[in-house]
Amino acid sequence: MKITSRFMFIPLMILVALTNTKLLMPCSATTRLPGVAPGQFLHYSFNQTVSGNDTELISHIQQVQGWGKVTVLSVSGANITYQFDFYNGTTTQSNTAIFDVENGKANGSYSPFPYFFIAANLSAGDPIYVGMGDPFYINETMLTVGYLDLQLETDHAKRSFNQTNTEDYVSGYIVSITVTMQGYWERRTGIMLDYHVEINSSRSDGADGVLATHLVRRILILSALPSPPVIPEFPSFLILPLFMIVTLLAVMIYKKRPLTPSRR
């Protein structure tokens, strides 16, 4: 009877442990932290193509061609301090920013830079940043092959929207636009692997005609140091139940040991 009650006690404790773990999981999910470390750098290519008959608008669009380097300087809480260096063959631009992976802000305001970092270990349905007026959600988590020549668990996000009769922030022209954005991030670290934007804009030429442009920008990772290792992730919700099982088994084995003469 004692042995039966002991073995009935084990599944009861497992049930309690799993219940407590599930209760704790929503609390931990609200904490967003970076998955990168100081000293890590990311090397990207920047490419842009523009086509269409709106030559006036095209003349205002900055041609982005070259490559960039993002170096992580420090990590504190949800903040990543990084340096961004961009090279286009003739000139070099360098900026330093403190980026918050929780809300997507750099130096206190929403970043004009691409989304180099998101929080680590996001899943489908999670917004890439919390508190943005127009959220951008993770659509799916998938295995990809090719980025950094590794098989990586990757977060993919896609978003499209339209705006009618809006002011182009560069040229000041009133245009209608259709925008499609896609991003891929390595899930464990939150580093951006691939990000591209397509923008179609149109406006009247004043003579019953339409002027249109098609803009494509893509930022693709080339290398990273250190590169994200492919490490199988042990489910954290199993740690507490397994620990309790091992402890209970150790106690049972200890109690079954025969008493020594000194203990009698």
Let me know if residue 10 belongs to a domain. no
Let me know if residue 114 belongs to a domain. yes
Let me know if residue 16 belongs to a domain. no
User: Would you state the pLDDT for residue 260?
Assistant: 56
Q: Facing residues of 175 across strands?
A: 166
Q: If we measure between CA atoms, which residue out of 72, 71, 69 comes closest to residue 38?
A: 72
Position 39 confidence tier, pLDDT thresholds 50, 70, 90: very high
**Could you tell me the residue range of the domain that residue 215 belongs to?**
32-225
The proportion of the chain whose per-residue pLDDT surpasses 90, expressed as a percent, equals 58
Q: pLDDT tens across 53-107, in order?
A: 999 999 988 888 999 999 999 999 999 999 999 999 888 899 999 999 999 999 8
Q: Which two tokens stand for residue 251?
A: 């106690």
Q: pLDDT tens across 146-203, in order?
A: 899 899 999 999 999 999 999 887 788 999 999 999 999 999 999 999 999 999 999 9
User: Would you state the pLDDT for residue 134?
Assistant: 76
Rounded-to-integer distance, Cα 243 and Cα 234, Å: 14
Let me know if residue 256 belongs to a domain. no
Let me know if residue 97 belongs to a domain. yes
**Tally of structural domains, the chain:** 1
Q: If we measure between CA atoms, which residue out of 65, 128, 135 comes closest to residue 100?
A: 128
Let me know if residue 263 belongs to a domain. no
The proportion of the chain whose per-residue pLDDT surpasses 70, expressed as a percent, equals 77
Let me know if residue 253 belongs to a domain. no
Let me know if residue 88 belongs to a domain. yes
